[in-house]
């Protein structure tokens, strides 16, 4: 960079020198041309010159006047010619009798003239003045000329000034270039051009080869980096670099997380049909904030695996609850038999039979799908073990479902009922109510409500997408149940919502019959 800048400075100085020479030539032409005109006019206006032309002794008579004009004006040559241009008197005696070329001069018309002429291969600034007799006739021509100095003469004459100006220019240019070079070196951390290019290539290859999405924004919220993985995860088309993050059409909560001020660690975000785990850190350089960097990982596959595991865990919990319930009842029956309390035994068996019959009847009438009915029966036992009641709403009507829809519905229903049971345990609730209805087009409407403490208003807007949970961390993730419910509903073109206000909490999920 320094050498390039010095080369530019040298080129500028050469151009300046050429312009200076041209200007000095123009100044010489103007200054000496005016002087030559004055000499020629002075000589042509002299009485002796006007009267001597035509005299055989004119050469001897005019010689002193010509020499004096040369001495006083510094002209290279002073001549007096007749009308035809034949030299009568000259500073150089050898020129007497020769004919000069008047060129484009109009002196024969009685007009003075000045300009450049070439004589013997040398350039002169020349002036012609007409010699007019007393009767007004043209009797001769007075000529004054001065040769242009050679290039070397001009260089040597102006060498001191030119050296001074060019030296100052070179010094200032060199110092400025050195300062710029030092500044660039500091800004580039001392890296050379090829090192910067290599670093940029490595950065590009690194960012665009990793599977994790990377998004960097500056302090104004403008995207500075977005790798290929992030574009794929966020479904961003075109080049997002240089565009504000809020103009990319992302989920509002994800936009607020990326462009916000607070750092985030392993935040669960649902965007479109993907579950992302997002980490955001502020970025700084030399102690000054320059924006933030957000990384995101696709955990949709992990959520699907957890969905299956959650179903298995739910079934295991239900079987454990039923085993515990049956064991307690068997112990009670065994004790009554040993004590001979056959009337109490009959009463207990009748009560148990009626409760099971009522539950089985309600389930068979309301829910015809075996998988969903089995899940609700298991959840009823689990609720009973916790001292709660799981009730199927009388308005529930559900037919037999396809395998895919049944699997999604059991996942949604299992998560919602588990959350409702946990809420009732924590808030001294007593009852969980489930309503399942099927519309004519096959869409399933799920409503799960409880009489627990409900969801506080300040977190009601985040429980579906920000990984909110009051439970301990499980499988490295937090609050995946409700985002999973929303993910399943979104994939099928439905929706998951929370009713605000009122006692307890009521969740509504709409599952269209055919998934998108």
Average pLDDT of span 238-258: 85
CATH superfamily, with its number, for domain 193-298: PAS domain (3.30.450.20)
Cα 300 to Cα 464: distance, rounded to the nearest angstrom: 15
Query: What tokens were used for 35?
Result: 């002087």
| pLDDT tens digits, 209-226 | 788 888 999 988 899 888
The Cα–Cα gap between 466 and 478 comes to 9
The Cα–Cα gap between 111 and 44 comes to: 12
Residue pLDDT, tens place only, 36-69: 888 888 888 888 888 888 788 888 888 888 888 8
Domain boundaries, given as residue ranges, for the chain = 2-155, 193-298, 302-511
- Cite the beta strand spans of 213-263 per DSSP E: 213-217, 223-226
**Which has the closest alpha carbon to 490: 462, 463, 510?**
510
- CATH class of residue range 2-155: alpha beta
- Using DSSP bridges, classify how beta strands 389-392 and 431-438 pair: parallel, antiparallel or unpaired: parallel
Same fold, 193-298 and 302-511: no
Decide if 177 contacts 9 (C-beta within 8 A): yes
Instruction: Look at the domain 302-511 and name its fold.
Output: Heat Shock Protein 90 (3.30.565)
pLDDT per residue as tens digits for the range 95-115: 888 888 888 888 888 888 888
From the CB of residue 389, how many other CB atoms can be counted at a distance below 10 Å? 14
User: 309-323, 325-339, 341-355: lowest mean pLDDT where?
Assistant: 309-323
Categorize the per-residue pLDDT at 370 as very low, low, confident or very high, splitting at 50, 70 and 90: confident
Identify the pLDDT of residue 450: 92
Q: What pLDDT, in 10s, does the model give residues 78-88?
A: 888 888 888 88
- Across 142-163, average pLDDT: 71
Q: For residue 446, what pLDDT is reported?
A: 94
Q: Using the 8-state DSSP alphabet, how is residue 473 labeled?
A: P
pTM above 0.85, yes or no: no
Task: Give the tens place of pLDDT for each residue, 435-493.
Answer: 999 998 889 999 999 988 888 877 776 777 655 343 444 333 345 678 778 878 888 88
Which stretch, 169-183, 276-290, 461-475, has highest mean pLDDT? 276-290
Helix (H) / strand (E) element for 30: namely helix 2-44
- Measured at the alpha carbon of residue 172, what is the angle toward residues 171 and 174, in degrees to the nearest 5? 65
Nearest to 188 by CA among 180, 197, 196, 177: 196
- 8 Å CB contact between 75 and 126: no
Q: State the average pLDDT over residues 365-378.
A: 84
């Amino acid at each position: 960079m320094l050498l390039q800048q010095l080369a530019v400075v040298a080129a500028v100085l050469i151009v300046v020198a050429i312009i200076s020479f041209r200007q000095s030539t123009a100044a010489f032409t103007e200054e000496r041309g005016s002087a030559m005109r004055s000499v020629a006019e002075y000589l042509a206006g002299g009485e002796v010159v006007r009267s001597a032309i035509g005299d055989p002794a004119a050469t001897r008579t005019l010689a002193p006047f010509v020499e004096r004009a040369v001495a006083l004006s510094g002209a290279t040559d002073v001549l007096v010619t007749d009308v035809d241009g034949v030299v009568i008197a000259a500073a150089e005696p050898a020129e007497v009798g020769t004919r000069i070329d008047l060129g484009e001069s109009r002196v024969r018309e009685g007009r003075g003239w000045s300009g450049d002429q070439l004589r013997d291969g040398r350039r002169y600034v020349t002036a012609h003045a007409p010699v007019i007799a007393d009767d007004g006739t043209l009797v001769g021509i007075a000529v004054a000329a001065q040769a242009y100095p050679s290039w070397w003469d001009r260089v040597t004459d102006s060498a001191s000034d030119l050296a001074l100006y060019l030296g100052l220019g070179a010094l200032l240019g060199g110092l400025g270039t050195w300062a710029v070079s030092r500044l660039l070196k500091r800004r580039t951390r001392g890296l050379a051009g090829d090192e910067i290019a290599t670093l940029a290539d490595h950065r590009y290859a690194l960012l665009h080869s990793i599977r994790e999405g990377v998004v960097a924004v500056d302090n104004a919220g403008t995207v500075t980096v977005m790798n290929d993985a992030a574009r794929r995860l966020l479904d961003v088309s075109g080049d997002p670099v240089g565009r504000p993050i809020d103009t990319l059409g992302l989920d509002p909560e994800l936009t607020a997380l990326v462009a916000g001020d607070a750092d985030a660690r392993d935040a669960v975000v649902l965007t479109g049909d993907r579950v992302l785990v997002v980490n955001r850190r502020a970025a700084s350089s030399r102690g000054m904030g320059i924006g933030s960097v957000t990384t995101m990982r696709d955990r949709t596959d992990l959520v699907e695996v957890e969905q299956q595991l959650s179903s298995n865990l739910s079934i295991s919990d239900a079987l454990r609850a039923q085993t515990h319930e049956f064991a307690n009842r068997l112990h009670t029956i065994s004790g009554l038999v040993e004590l001979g309390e056959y009337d109490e035994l009959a009463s207990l068996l009748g009560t148990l039979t009626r409760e099971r019959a009522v539950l089985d009847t309600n389930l068979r009438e309301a829910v015809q799908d075996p998988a969903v009915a089995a899940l609700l029966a298991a959840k009823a036992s689990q609720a009973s073990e916790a001292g709660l009641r799981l009730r199927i709403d009388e308005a529930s009507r559900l037919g037999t479902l396809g395998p895919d829809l049944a699997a999604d519905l059991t996942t949604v229903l299992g998560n919602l009922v588990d959350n409702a049971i946990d809420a009732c345990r924590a808030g001294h609730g007593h009852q969980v109510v489930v309503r399942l209805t099927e519309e004519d087009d096959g869409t399933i409407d799920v409503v799960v409500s409880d009489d627990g403490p409900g969801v506080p208003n300040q977190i009601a807007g985040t429980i579906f997408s920000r990984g909110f949970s009051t439970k301990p961390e499980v499988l490295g993730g937090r609050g995946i149940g409700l985002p999973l419910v929303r993910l399943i509903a979104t994939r099928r073109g439905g929706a998951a919502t929370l009713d605000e206000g009122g006692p307890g909490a009521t969740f509504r999920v709409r599952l269209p019959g055919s998934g998108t």
